[in-house]
Structure formats: C-alpha cells, structure tokens
C-alpha cells in the first residue's frame, strides 16, 4: 500500500487529531528559530483550478514548539516529521541540532523553497550540508519546481547528505480580484497548489527519481487514488496530500480505501515503495 502523509502546512493535527491519525506519518507546519506572525491577510485565495496561499511561515518558534507542541503531537501515536525553515545555513543547523535529541521526531523535512518569504543566501546543498552536520536524523529536502533542472538540485542535496526528497513545494502564482482590480492576496503573489500543479510535480518526481537513488515523497494535486498511483509510477516512494485536505479532510481514508480496491498491484509496486521512517534511526 502507498504510504500517505500530509503536505506541510495543510493539516493542524491538534485541531483534527483523527485526520492526522489516518495518515502513515504527520508532517508539521514549518518551524523557524524565532516566532513569526506571518504575512498580513488576505492570505488565501481560490482559483479556477487550485489555491494560492501566502501564510509566511507563521509559527511559535522552535523553543515553544519543542516544549509545547512536540509532546502533544507525540500523543497522537503517528510518526512525526518536523518541517524546519530559516534564513541562513546557521538557522538550519540550529533547528536540526535542537531536534536531534528528540525521540519523538522521526524525520526532519528541510523547507528549502518557500515562495512566501525571503530565501537564505546559501544554496540548497549548503543548507543541507549545514543541517547534516547538526543531526543524525533522516533529512528530507523539499525542493522548488521553479528551477530549470531540478535533477541537478536533487543530485546536489543528495551529495550534501539528504536522505530523501519532498517533491514539490508550491510554485509562485497570482490571482486578480477583478472588482478592485488588485491582487487577491495582500502580499501579491503566493504559493500555488491544487490539481493544476500535478503535471509539474510528476515531471519533477520523474526527473529526480532518474537522477538519485533516494526515497521521494511526492505531492502536488493529489485528490484521488489514481493521482497517488501516478506519483508512484513516476518514482515516488510515498505520497502527500495538500489542498485535498482543505476540501475533504477525510481524503486519506477515501484514497486508502480506493487504493486497496485497485486491481493494479504492478502499478503500486512499480515505483519501488520504501518504508516511511517511524523513528530517527531507521535511515
């Protein structure tokens, strides 16, 4: 069976614990070294075939997260992946070092590609190398589709010590509020997700699967069991749900049931599914 996770930022496990417990692992919203209020509203906008968001990494900061959120999330009894972000290599090292001794954290996902905040000056490979030096935990590098050769990026982060890839993050988009007429989001552009992202995501998974021998968490427009199977056929080892969780919080159960009924074991096995890490030592 294809492992199902959530895309970072698309599910609040403490508000909807039953939904989180229907997943094979839960991925937190991105945490940064210091608390962030995020971008000003409006921060969400629907489009004809997807959704724009400009949250801006709103979060309580790593110290509050470790002290308050991690113990509560551990009670869900679901493998915990923590998404971390920052604005320098030192930030990523600090975050990973802070999480290294936490037995509750199975995997650290490095958010290297948020379109709604300023980026770190270092390359993705340099950020991964800094994180790798600070932790023994499995590291998944979340890459942006907004690059000419994502396979080159995959090879670079693999050489720097990444244990897996998360593909893909949202891509920058804009919607116009025609009555104004002004951008629908207060910040202007935001991260675009939803069904229209799927062909882009599949192309990225396909290219990276051919370039590196790393497990890939595929995401981008997954709404059905067929979507999930397509990602595995392209080379993903597991699949994450994003925008689908806003429209249908119980989509993991629906998709899992449909996958179980699919008469296509060769398709499901064809992507070389690997075990989703449940502890910090499994990779």
Residues recognised as catalytic: 114
Q: Residues in the chain, how many?
A: 283
Tokens of 186: 């207060």
Q: Which residues pair with 165 in a beta bridge?
A: 141, 216
Q: Which of 160, 161, 54, 192 is nearest to 116 (CA)?
A: 54
Are the C-beta atoms of 57 and 116 separated by less than 8 Å?
A: yes
Residue 244 burial by Cβ neighbours in a 10 Å radius (0-12, 13-18, 19+)? buried
The label of the residue with tokens 């499995």 reads: 138
Are the C-beta atoms of 217 and 239 separated by less than 8 Å?
A: yes
Interacting residues of 143 by C-beta distance below 8 A, sequence separation 6+: 112, 113, 124, 150, 153, 154, 157, 165, 166, 167, 168, 169, 204, 208
């Amino acid at each position: 069976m294809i492992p199902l996770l959530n895309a970072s930022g698309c599910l609040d496990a403490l508000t909807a614990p039953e939904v989180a417990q229907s997943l094979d692992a839960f991925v937190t919203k991105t945490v940064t070294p210091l608390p962030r209020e995020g971008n000003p509203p409006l921060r969400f906008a629907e489009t004809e075939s997807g959704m724009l968001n400009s949250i801006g990494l709103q979060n309580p900061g790593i110290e509050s997260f470790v002290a308050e959120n991690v113990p509560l999330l551990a009670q869900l009894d679901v493998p915990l992946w923590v998404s971390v972000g920052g604005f320098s290599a030192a930030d990523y090292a600090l975050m990973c070092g802070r999480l290294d001794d936490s037995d509750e954290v199975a995997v650290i996902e490095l958010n290297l590609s948020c379109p709604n905040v300023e980026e770190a000056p270092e390359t993705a490979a340099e950020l991964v190398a800094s994180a790798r030096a600070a932790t023994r935990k499995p590291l998944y590098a979340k890459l942006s589709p907004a690059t000419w050769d994502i396979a080159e990026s995959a090879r670079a982060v693999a050489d720097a010590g990444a244990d897996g890839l998360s593909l893909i993050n949202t891509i920058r988009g804009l919607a116009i509020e025609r009555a104004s007429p002004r951008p629908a989001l207060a910040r202007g552009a935001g991260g675009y997700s939803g069904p229209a992202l799927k062909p882009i995501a599949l192309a990225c998974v396909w290219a990276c699967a051919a370039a590196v021998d790393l497990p890939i968490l595929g995401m981008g427009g997954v709404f059905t069991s067929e979507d999930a199977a397509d990602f595995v056929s392209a080379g993903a080892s597991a699949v994450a749900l994003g925008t689908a969780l806003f429209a249908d919080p119980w989509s993991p159960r629906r998709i899992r049931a449909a996958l179980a009924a699919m008469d296509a074991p060769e398709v499901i096995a064809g992507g070389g599914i690997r075990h989703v890490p449940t502890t910090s030592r499994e990779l």
